[in-house]
Amino acid sequence: MSEELLYWLAGDLRWSDFPPKADMIATIAALIVVAGAIGVVATLTIARRWRWLFDNWLSSLDHKKIGIMYMVLAFVMLLRAVIEAVLMRIQQALSVNAQGVVSADHFAQLFSTHGTIMIFFVAMPFISGLINYVMPLQIGARDLTFPFMNAVGLWLSAAGAAILMASLVIGEFSTGGWSGYPPFTELAYSPGEGVDYWIWAVTLSSIGTTLTGINFATTIYKERCEGMHLFRMPLFCWTSLCTAILMIFAMPPLTVATALLALDRYAGFHFFTNGAGGNMMNYANLFWLFGHPEVYILILPAFGVWSEVISTFSGKRLYGYASMVFAVMCIAVLSFTVWLHHFFTMGQSTNVNAVFGIATMLIGIPTGVKVYDWLLTMYRGRIRLTAPMLFAMTFLLCFVIGGLTGIILANPPVDFQVHNSLFLVAHFHNMLIPGTLFGMIAGYMFWFPKAFGFRLDERWGRIAWACWSGGFLAAFMPLYWLGLMGMMRRTAISFEAAYQPWLNAAWAGAALIVCGIVALGIQLVVSVRRRSDLAVPVGDPWDGHSLEWWTPAPPPEYNFARRPRIEDTEAFTNAKRDGRAYHAPPSYEDIEVPRNTLIPAGIGAAGFVCAFALSWHIWWAALLGLAAMWAGVVLRSLQGDTERVIPAAEVQRQNEAWLDCARQTAPVTRFAEVERINRGRAMETT
């Protein structure tokens, strides 16, 4: 076959891009991905679950199922990103005056994929998943405003994640870090497919996230139940709203940055090149215009989770609700004013640095307000140290440390000293692990019984907490010290013997974190096995305050037999106190729910094809993928009959079965909530 025809057909893709790879570890990783994929397909085939998978999950537009699928995606990607983290820790610990286990190039791929995955394909899906599941229930809605668009958002994110997985098998990933700074990522210095993989994976995620943000904001603005004024929303909804607003306004800069970089690489433009009038510093500017609001996108939903968890397990109303809300709003607005602190050292004048440094420190104020509010919520509360609450304790301690190091870094003169050192790495992991990741794990444990109808095993939850907390401290506190000693981030090989003990400690910490993940896995398996013991069909295992607990566990697809009308933030608490929580509504009505459709999954698949083909310059397939994505959208607009009616009689039957179950269930006190007798009905305290 002629070279030209081959290029026309397969772009730059050749057999040599497939495994085995030059690097042993890379080959093993590729084999794990392939074996994993084969394993999933085989299991589904043997268990004859394909139809079930398509009918119940892949085609679903139900916000609860989409939320769960987001979480599954996040957990799968978390597994890979943590393995990469451990590999990096091993490399650094074994490469003090030595070669270590991976090549410098492979190491660069590891930190690039680790960062990209953790931000875009672990944290973001976690957040979208949790908000998807919880927020509509909390505001008494039947679904998000745009269920179809919600599914499209999910499948575009999944397509981006799939690009990351494909890059492990076919070709190589970018070595330019998660932020992809040019000129290194320009064609002249990164000629391969790696940066293109990164660009298109991130772009898919970014488009999906924008759609999701629009959906969340519209839902919170327009679908709240009667009486749910904005200032009666649970705090998690407030943080969801602010996150959504950040998603809407912070994703365009990322899209611009990656699109312009793509134009440089594909069409020879000069946005960020060295010569011909390009300005690489504008890339840093654009990227962090996205990147800084992004870190608040990651942290705000966790703030919401902590507010719910701490208030619930303290048995108290959230302290300082209004101050919490204003603090979140302040943080959301301020997050658009601080992006320059990511590049203090780029050469602008002192005045510019000073303004952004001060703005950065200002964010400490509303954040501090929140910490005090959480502490005061616990003060004189009747605290139960369940697993989510334990995570909250670690969060409060570590987050304050991380916040303080953030204030230190906000000083431009200090930043000049520790810029790009492991001090910085320690700082942002200190915010993102106890903040976001622990928040998501706590949220998962907290709302799991609602989603699946049974609690998670408490003992393994505590073991997971101990491993994660200890592992985090051991892995990241040494990095502060290493940073101050002068060790730079992204270093594959170092030549300073004094680093060794600290690197060893960090390695041990990473191993402990792996134990934490294993414990989470065991917890899930144990809980599924014991699910009849742990069942909480009534749906209120923790004596919850807000509307999501006022539904069966798991809730019906329409969420509420009758949409509630509320008069207070803690409407459910009031109903329990007044003894009217499980009264039947006066009447029932037909409910419309969206019909299942496979179009969103199809759009995601087309997006994957388009992104993959673009990365390898297979133009015909890229065009085909793009056309198929838009064809999916047009096809949807032609579908007339998109709703399915659940008749009132069926709603009544299901709801009365739940009410009967509730009435027959013995209420338990809060302190017996982890015991077997907890079937999901809380004691009606006065």
Partner 1 sequence: MSAGKNLHPGINLGHSDPAGHHQAEPVMFGFWIFLMSDLVLFALLLATYSAMSVHGVAGGPEPRDVTDLASAGIETALLLLSSFTIGMASLANKYHDDGRRLLQWLGLTAVLGIGFLAMEARDFASLIAEGAVPQRSGFLSAHFTLLGCHALHVAAGLLWMAVLVLQLMATGLERALRLRFMRLALFWHMLDIVWVAILTFVFLYGAAG
Partner 2 sequence: MNDEDLPQSEREDPRREFRHILMGLASASVLTALAFFLAVAKPLATGWLLAALGGLALVQIAAQFRFFLHVDLKKSHRDDLQLVLFAGLVIALMVGGSIWILFNQHARMG
d(CA 71, CA 75): 6
Single-letter amino acid, residue 637: S
By beta-carbon proximity to partner 2, the closer residue of 340 and 456 is 340
* Interacting residues of 641 by C-beta distance below 8 A, sequence separation 6+: 595
Look at residues 402, 332, 400 and name the one whose alpha carbon lies nearest to residue 363. 332
Binding-site string for partner 1 from residue 181 to residue 210, where x marks contact by CB under 8 A and - marks none: -----------------------------x
Which positions ≥6 away from 103 have C-beta within 8 Å?
23, 492
Task: Characterise 89 by phi-psi region: left (phi > 0), alpha (psi -120 to 50), beta (else).
Answer: alpha
Report the distance separating Cα 650 and Cα 659, nearest Å: 14
User: Is cis: bond before 537, omega within 30 of 0?
Assistant: no
The reply to whether 249 sits near partner 1 by the rule CB under 8 A is yes
Q: How far is the CB of 154 from partner 1 (least distance, A)?
A: 17
Among 229, 322, 586, 641, binds partner 1 (CB under 8 A): 229
Q: Which is nearer to partner 1, 230 or 397 (CB)?
A: 230
| Nearer residue to partner 1 within complex by CB, 213 or 439 | 213
Per CB under 8 A, the segment of 28-36, 180-188, 281-289, 561-569 that binds partner 1 is 281-289
Min dist. Cβ of residue 294 to partner 1 (A)? 14
The number of residues that bind partner 1 (CB under 8 A) is 44
Show the tokens assigned to 250. 């912070």
Q: Of the two residues 274 and 420, which places its CB atom closer to partner 1 in the complex?
A: 274
Q: Would you say 36 or 183 has its CB closer to partner 1?
A: 183
Closest distance of CB 335 from partner 2, Å: 10
**Which residues are paired to 668 by β-bridges?**
682
Cβ atoms of residues 183 and 105 within 8 Å: no
Stretch that binds partner 1, among 58-66, 245-253, 463-471, 531-539 (CB under 8 A): 245-253
* The one among 269, 326, 372, 481 contacting partner 1 by CB under 8 A: 269
271 binding partner (options partner 1, partner 2, none; Cβ < 5 to 8 Å by kind)? partner 1
How far apart CA 309 and CA 324 sit, in angstroms, is 15
Given partner 2, partner 1, none, residue 347, with its beta carbon under 5 to 8 Å by kind, binds partner 2
- The entry of partner 2, partner 1, none that residue 224 binds, CB within 5 to 8 Å by partner kind: partner 1
319 binds, among partner 1, partner 2, none (CB under 5 to 8 A by kind): none
Residue ranges in contact with partner 2 by CB under 8 A:
221, 245, 249, 253, 279, 281-282, 285-286, 289, 333, 336-337, 339-340, 346-349, 352
Determine the Cα angle at 241 with ends 145 and 436, to 5°.
120
Peptide bond into 20 cis (omega under 30): yes
CB of 620 to partner 1, least distance (A): 21
Contacts 24+ apart (CB under 8 A), 230-233: 231/321, 231/322, 231/325, 232/566, 232/568, 232/569, 233/138, 233/139, 233/569
Closest to 539 in 3D by CA, of 647, 329, 681, 383: 681
Minimum Å gap between C-beta 300 and partner 1 is 17
> In the complex, what is the shortest distance from the CB of residue 54 to partner 1, in angstroms, rounded to a whole number?
27
- Give the nearer residue to partner 1 in terms of CB position, either 1 or 634: 634
- Specify whether the CB–CB gap between 116 and 178 falls below 8 A: yes
Euclidean distance between CA atoms 160 and 9, whole angstroms? 23
> Biggest alpha carbon distance in the chain?
83
Q: Specify the amino acid at residue 81.
A: A
CB of 253 to partner 1, least distance (A): 6
Among 18, 50, 189, 231, binds partner 1 (CB under 8 A): 231
- With CB under 5 to 8 Å by kind, the binding choice for 337 among partner 2, partner 1, none is partner 2
Q: Which of 541, 573, 529 is nearest to 449 (CA)?
A: 541
Task: Name residues contacting partner 1, limited to 602-661 (CB under 8 A).
Answer: 634, 637-638
What minimum distance in Å lies between the beta carbon of 579 and partner 2? 35
Q: Does 343 bind partner 1 (CB under 8 A)?
A: no
CB of 220 to partner 2, least distance (A): 11
What is the nearest approach in angstroms of partner 2 to the Cβ of residue 281? 6
For the chain, count helices (H), then strands (E). Answer: 23, 2
Instruction: Choose the one of partner 1, partner 2, none that binds residue 263, judging by a C-beta under 5 to 8 angstroms depending on kind.
Output: partner 1
Query: HEC string of 327-395?
Result: HHHHHHHHCCCCHHHHHHHHCCCHHHHHHHHHHHHHHHHHHHHHHHHHHHHHCCCCCCCCHHHHHHHHH
> Which residues of the chain form contacts with partner 1 (CB under 8 A)?
145-146, 210, 213-215, 217-219, 221-224, 228-231, 248-249, 251-253, 255-256, 260, 263-264, 267-271, 273, 275-279, 282, 286, 289, 634, 637-638
